[in-house]
Structure 1
Amino acid sequence: MTPAALVQDGVSIPGSFHTTDSPPVRCGRAYRHEALPRTVGAVDMTIPNEAYSGTSRTTPLGRLKAVTVDGDCLSALRTRRLVAQGDEDEYVVVTVLDTGVARLEQDGRAAPLGPGDIVIYDMARPVRLALPPSFRTKSLVLPRDVLGLSESDMAKITACPLGPDTPLGRLLSPFLAGLVDSAGTHPPRTGELLARNAVDLLRLLAAELLGRTSTDTSEGNRALLLRIQAFIDDHLADRDLTPQAIARAHHISLRYLHKLFESEDTTVGRWIQRCRLEECRRDMARQTNGSTIAAVAHRWGFTSAAHFSRVFRTAYGMSPREWRDSKA
């Protein structure tokens, strides 16, 4: 088991990465006792042989932790003794099974899992997870208080999988998997926004499992809106970011896209403009690279310095230069 720097597309990102390598005799033991407990908490681990092959990646995402684990085959048991001894009991794990099959047992339920299934388990109570070969899981680890659920409600939703064939599952499964994959690669503000969006989505998931969602598509619409807002944050610097491009990227009509933003009491274009203005303000406040106001505006997708000045004054009551000078 070799700890390594976490690098994606040639860029170092925060977090940790562990993988098994030679000598093979020590790999399974090291992975069992060192790598996995750091990612999923204290568990009794069963691995078929010492020449185990697997990797684990952990990346912070606001108050959340994004975790990817893959390997040959393993079984993990978190006993009452380990719950009492550890300090992970304040955390809940939301897992998407990316590849393979699995079985999760908690609170008297046993859930068989297939690719795309989402399931929740609580680190405050015993849990058993069996993963036959070969598998990959993508998980978000979050403080229990974030979901705002009572102890009894939490016990009702563990080991209750939400399948990718359900309306909310179709939206959540790829979103959560993509969020785990991209954790640590975004600017800090985008990472915080994504974490908040993820929490909103996980609350929707909890509500769905508790049977508290409405019979219409409002929850699914909210989940889609959050995905679109995260997409906008990731593409603010792209001057081709238009409502038409956003609708195409999410396989929805332009009319439907505009309807989604009615709940935000704004239009898609105004949402993009507001996000770009906020990024420009942050860059001008830092004043670390000597960029001109026009260069900052261009960096965040404004094609005209005059247009940028007009919309900035409308939004903040002063020109970009006046605002920058007030922060000097």
Structure 2
Amino acid sequence: MFDTNCENIWNGTRMSRAEWIDAMSSVGHQYHFDSPDPGPSIHCGVHTGKITIVNLDIAWQSASPIMRGSHLDNLFLQVVKSGTRCIEQRGQTYKLRPGDVAVVDPLTRYKASVHERTTISIIRIPRSALSDRGLRYRFPVVWCPDPTSPDVRAVRDFVLCLASQADKATGLLLARLGEQCLDLMDVLVNESGRPLMARSPSLIVTRAKQMILRRVCDPNLSPGCIAAALNMSTSSLTRALRANGLSVMRYVWSLRLECAARRLGVGASHGAIKAIAYQCGFPSHSHFSRAFKARYDMTPREYATCNQMARDTEDQDAQASVPSSDRHPSHIDRG
């Protein structure tokens, strides 16, 4: 009789207990209700960028990973907000209380359960996102970072802030926050003093390009900032990019010029051109103008004017292609 009670909510949709179990199965979890009357269960999830953010409010339930499917390519970063969550894996039991953080790997079978009402925020992270950053992406047992570490607590609070915005912020902002969350994962998954996994020069270049693209308009971006974000020395970063024919700051300036050109392409006044220069990370209007002319063989003003003239010509051609009878009706039907 309980399966007919639509007391559970999955992303705003009410469903029965059987439907809830099916929904959990679709994302790789074998669920079981441990009480005939556990009360309502609430799932709020959103996929953004590379990650999926899930907020759960559940009681008297247990779950194990389904040991097949693409979900095994993910890790689960879990933060308990209230209640208690127990995870049994390889003969050990981990009891997570409010504020505790754990990384759970579904490649090793486990059983997670809650009795009292418990709220949890979960970030589903592709292993590849950690591998690309030179971080650990395989955990034979539940990994719990040091709860006494101020850095761990700071990242935990960031994760909770991100999860709280899952159904509020725009998808674009959530994706940016998700990337920042991934960039902070080294704080949670690497043991103190343990070196990062070895990274090939091509991987370093890929990660550097991704990081530069996210912060290209930051006027304070420098090789030192980029290297620090990638957990490596400036000399190692410079050497890896040079091996691929790249200079760190030349690449940054190139992207900034492309960004400015796109904005100028839709037209801009003199004041707007100055604003675009600063918005794209240039320290001064004169520096921007010199660099832009060297790249495009015309000044920013000339570039904006040429694009405006091209748009005007296209509009005139489009207007000319419309039959005169459609542009100037010979009569009006007053019916």
Taking structure 1 as the reference length, the TM-score comes to: 0.58
Kindly state the Cα deviation for residue 113 of structure 1 after the two structures are TM-superposed.
Answer: 0.7
1:291/1:324 Cα in 2 relative to 1: closer, same or farther (>3 Å)?
Answer: closer
Kindly state the Cα deviation for residue 121 of structure 1 after the two structures are TM-superposed.
Answer: 1.1
For residues 5-16 of structure 1, what are the structure 2 equivalents within 5 Å? none
Unaligned runs of 5+ in 2: 1-5, 197-210, 235-252, 311-335
Equivalent in 93, 97, 109 of residue 80 of structure 2: 97
Kindly state the Cα deviation for residue 138 of structure 1 after the two structures are TM-superposed.
Answer: 1.2
Kindly state the Cα deviation for residue 19 of structure 1 after the two structures are TM-superposed.
Answer: 5.3
Equivalent pairs: percent with the same residue?
18
Task: Tell me if the contact between 1:55 and 1:71 (Cα under 8 Å) persists in the aligned partners.
Answer: yes
Kindly state the Cα deviation for residue 94 of structure 1 after the two structures are TM-superposed.
Answer: 0.9
CA distance in 1, matches of 2:46, 2:264: 28
Kindly state the Cα deviation for residue 129 of structure 1 after the two structures are TM-superposed.
Answer: 0.9
1:293/1:47 Cα in 2 relative to 1: closer, same or farther (>3 Å)?
Answer: farther
In structure 1, the residue matched to 2:159 is: 176
Whichever of the two has the greater Rg, that structure is 2
In structure 2, the residue matched to 1:284 is: 263
In structure 1, the residue matched to 2:40 is: 53
For residues 115-126 of structure 1, what are the structure 2 equivalents within 5 Å? 115-126=98-109
Task: Tell me if the contact between 2:56 and 2:119 (Cα under 8 Å) persists in the aligned partners.
Answer: yes
Alignment pair present for 1:313 and 2:297: no
RMSD between aligned residues = 4.7
Task: Tell me if the contact between 1:19 and 1:55 (Cα under 8 Å) persists in the aligned partners.
Answer: no
1:208/1:309 Cα in 2 relative to 1: closer, same or farther (>3 Å)?
Answer: same
Kindly state the Cα deviation for residue 135 of structure 1 after the two structures are TM-superposed.
Answer: 1.5
CA distance in 1, matches of 2:257, 2:49: 19
Kindly state the Cα deviation for residue 310 of structure 1 after the two structures are TM-superposed.
Answer: 4.2
CA distance in 1, matches of 2:54, 2:300: 41
Alignment pair present for 1:32 and 2:16: no
Unaligned runs of 5+ in 1: 5-15, 21-25, 215-228, 237-242, 244-258, 266-273
CA distance in 2, matches of 1:65, 1:43: 19
Equivalent in 89, 113, 126 of residue 96 of structure 2: 113
Alignment pair present for 1:212 and 2:194: yes
Task: Tell me if the contact between 1:3 and 1:18 (Cα under 8 Å) persists in the aligned partners.
Answer: no
CA distance in 2, matches of 1:49, 1:181: 30
CA distance in 2, matches of 1:300, 1:194: 25
Residues matched between the structures, number: 253
Taking structure 2 as the reference length, the TM-score comes to: 0.57
Kindly state the Cα deviation for residue 131 of structure 1 after the two structures are TM-superposed.
Answer: 1.9
Kindly state the Cα deviation for residue 51 of structure 1 after the two structures are TM-superposed.
Answer: 6.4
